[in-house]
Structure 1
C-alpha cells in the first residue's frame, strides 16, 4: 500500500550525523588554522562523552568512573609507543583494546549491581586504576606522567606537525567513525533491547532478554570508544598523566552529557563542544572563576530543558513578522 503512513517512527540513516560532523569539522579545520589544538581537544572530548552516553543515556547505568576506561586507553597507547612501536594506528588499536578489555573485566563484576551501589563501585574502580598507575612508576611515570614517546607519521606519510593539522584531522576521523559505530549499534535491535532494559529491566527479563550479557556488551563497546579517546589524547599530546584517571574527568564528562542531553548521541557531541568552548573562553578571561560560567549554564539546562527552549525559540520565530 504505497503512500500510506504506517505510523512507524522514522530512523535517520546512521551515516547522516557522522557526515554532518565531518563537514562541520572540516569547515572548522579550514576556517580556524590557529585553533587546531582546540579542535583536536573538542574531537577527543566528544568521543569520550559519546562513549559515556552509551552507558548512561542508552543503557541507563549511572557511572562516575568512566575516566578509568579513558585512562586505560591513554596509558596503553603511550606505553606501546614508548616500548614497542610508534605507529599511530597500531597504538590506537591497542588503546581501544585496553579500554574494551578493562570494561569487559570490570563490567562482569560491576553489572551484577545497579543503582547507587553500581555508581559507588565505578568510583572505586577508577580510584583503584589511579592507584595502580601511580604505583607502577616504571611503566607509567607515576606522578610525573608518561613522557618520552613520539608518534610516527600517520599512514607512513603524514607527520604530526607543530600546528596540529594532522592531529586535528586524525582526531576528527576517529570521532566520525566512532559516531557511526555508536549510531549503528544504538539503532539496531540490540540497541533497542538495551534501551528497553533502561526503561524497565524487570519487564525485559520477563520477556526472555538476557539483561546482564546485553549490558556487558554495551559497556564493553563504550569502553572501546573511551579507550580510543584516551589513545588519541596520548598520541596528540605526547604525555599521559594521572589526571586521565581522575574522578574530576568522569564528573566533567557527565556534566557535558547533561548539557547536551543524554540518550540521543548527538547530545554528547553538543555538550562536549559547548563545555569545551565555555571552558576555553571563560578560562582565557578569568582562569580562576571559569567554573562559575559552566555552573550557570548547567543550572539553565536543568531549570529550562533544551526541548522547552527550542519550542520557545520556534514559537518566537514563528510569531515574528
Structure 2
C-alpha cells in the first residue's frame, strides 16, 4: 500500500461513517409515525408498549449477533435479570421509582454481561451457541430454585411502580406505559446507532467478517467483543426492567429459552446487522402473534413458521435486507 493510499483510507472510512450517521427522511418519518398510535390505535397501546420493549431487546441482541457476529441463544438471561432487578427493588426494597429502577437493572445486567464476556470471547461457532444457551438455562433454573426470592413459577408479585417523575401515573389504557417505553426505546436506539456508526462499530464489522484477520491490523478484537457484549447486556436489562415496571409482575418466563429464540426469529425476519431490522422484526412478530393467537391460540406458531420460511427463502438477509438490495443500497 502506498503512502497516498494509507492517508486516503482513514478519510474514506470517516466519510462513510459520517454518511451513515446522517438522519434520513425515512428515519424521521418512522419515529414520527410511532406517535400516531396515540390517536389512531388507542385500544392497542398496551400491545404497542410490549412491541417497544421487545424491539429494544431485539436491538440489544442485534448489537452482538448482527454487528459483532456473536451467536447467542441465551440473551434472555440479561432481559430476565433486568426484570427481576427492577421488580425486587420495588417488591422487596420498597423502592418503586421507575427511572432509578431502570438504571439499577441496566447496571446489574451490564455487570453480569461483563463477567460473562470473558467466557464468551474464548469460544466460537457451535461452542459459543452451547455456552450462551447453557448460561441462559442455568439462570432460569437458579431463579426457579430461589422461589423464596423470585416467586418461582408463581411469578414475582407486589411490584408497585411509582408515577414517572412523580407526575405521570400508569393508567389502565396504556398512555403512560407506551410513552415511557417508546421514549426508552428511542434512547436505546440513539445509543446503539451512535455505536454502530462509529470507528468502534466499524471494528465490530471487521470482527464479524473475519475475526482471524483483526489481530493482523492491530485490533484488540477480544476487547471489542467484551465491550459490545457488556453494552448489549445492559440494554437487554433495560428492556426487562421496562416489562416489570409496566406490568407490575415478573414471570419466570422472562428467563426462558423461548424468549431468546423468539428474538432471534425477529432478527431473521427484519434483517440482522440493521437496527431498524430489529424493530421491524419485533413489530411483525408481535402483530402476527396477536392476530393469529386470536384465531387459534394453540397453533399460532404455524403462521410464524410459514412467514419465517418465506422470508428465508426469498429474502435471506431479512425484509430490510431484501428491500435494500432492491433499492441498490445493500450494505
Per-residue displacement from partner, 1:181-204 (whole Å, max 9, x unpaired)?
000000110111011111111111
Matched residue of 2:272: which SS?
coil
Matched residue of 2:43: which SS?
coil
- 1:113 pairs with 106, 123, 144, which one? 123
**Structure 2 length-normalised TM:** 0.89
Whether the aligned pair in 1 keeps the contact of 2:21 and 2:194 (CA below 8 Å) is: no
- 1:221 pairs with 231, 244, 256, which one? 231
Q: Unaligned regions of 5+ residues in structure 1, if any?
A: 1-5, 316-321
- Residues 105 and 208 of structure 1, relative CA distance in 2, 3 Å threshold: same
Whether the aligned pair in 2 keeps the contact of 1:74 and 1:240 (CA below 8 Å) is: yes
Matched residue of 2:163: which SS?
coil
Query: 1:40 maps to what in 2?
Result: 49
CA distance in 1: counterparts of 2:321 and 2:90, whole angstroms: 48
- Residues 261 and 252 of structure 1, relative CA distance in 2, 3 Å threshold: same
CA distance in 2: counterparts of 1:72 and 1:14, whole angstroms: 33
CA distance in 2: counterparts of 1:273 and 1:178, whole angstroms: 17
CA distance in 2: counterparts of 1:225 and 1:311, whole angstroms: 27
Query: 2:39 maps to what in 1?
Result: 30
Is 1:51 matched up with 2:60?
yes
Whether the aligned pair in 2 keeps the contact of 1:18 and 1:176 (CA below 8 Å) is: no
Matches within 5 A, 1:1-321: 9=16, 10-13=19-22, 19-84=28-93, 85-305=95-315, 306=319, 310=323
Matched residue of 1:159: which SS?
coil
- Residues 217 and 312 of structure 1, relative CA distance in 2, 3 Å threshold: closer
Whether the aligned pair in 1 keeps the contact of 2:21 and 2:197 (CA below 8 Å) is: no
- Residues 195 and 54 of structure 1, relative CA distance in 2, 3 Å threshold: same
CA RMSD of aligned residues (A): 2.1
Whether the aligned pair in 1 keeps the contact of 2:277 and 2:320 (CA below 8 Å) is: no
CA distance in 1: counterparts of 2:290 and 2:130, whole angstroms: 31
Q: How many residues align?
A: 310
The structural deviation recorded for 1:229 is 0.4
The structural deviation recorded for 1:285 is 1.2
- Residues 159 and 309 of structure 1, relative CA distance in 2, 3 Å threshold: same
Whether the aligned pair in 2 keeps the contact of 1:14 and 1:184 (CA below 8 Å) is: no
Matched residue of 2:289: which SS?
helix
Per-residue displacement from partner, 1:229-254 (whole Å, max 9, x unpaired)?
00000001111111101111100000
CA distance in 2: counterparts of 1:91 and 1:16, whole angstroms: 34
The structural deviation recorded for 1:138 is 2.1
CA distance in 2: counterparts of 1:157 and 1:292, whole angstroms: 44
Matched residue of 1:148: which SS?
coil
The structural deviation recorded for 1:19 is 4.4
CA distance in 2: counterparts of 1:183 and 1:16, whole angstroms: 16
Between 128-137 and 175-184, report the one with greater CA deviation: 128-137
- Residues 43 and 251 of structure 1, relative CA distance in 2, 3 Å threshold: same
The structural deviation recorded for 1:310 is 3.6
Whether the aligned pair in 1 keeps the contact of 2:204 and 2:224 (CA below 8 Å) is: yes
Whether the aligned pair in 1 keeps the contact of 2:102 and 2:242 (CA below 8 Å) is: yes
**Structure 1 length-normalised TM:** 0.92
CA distance in 2: counterparts of 1:20 and 1:100, whole angstroms: 32
- Residues 308 and 208 of structure 1, relative CA distance in 2, 3 Å threshold: closer
- Residues 279 and 132 of structure 1, relative CA distance in 2, 3 Å threshold: same
Q: Unaligned regions of 5+ residues in structure 2, if any?
A: 1-11
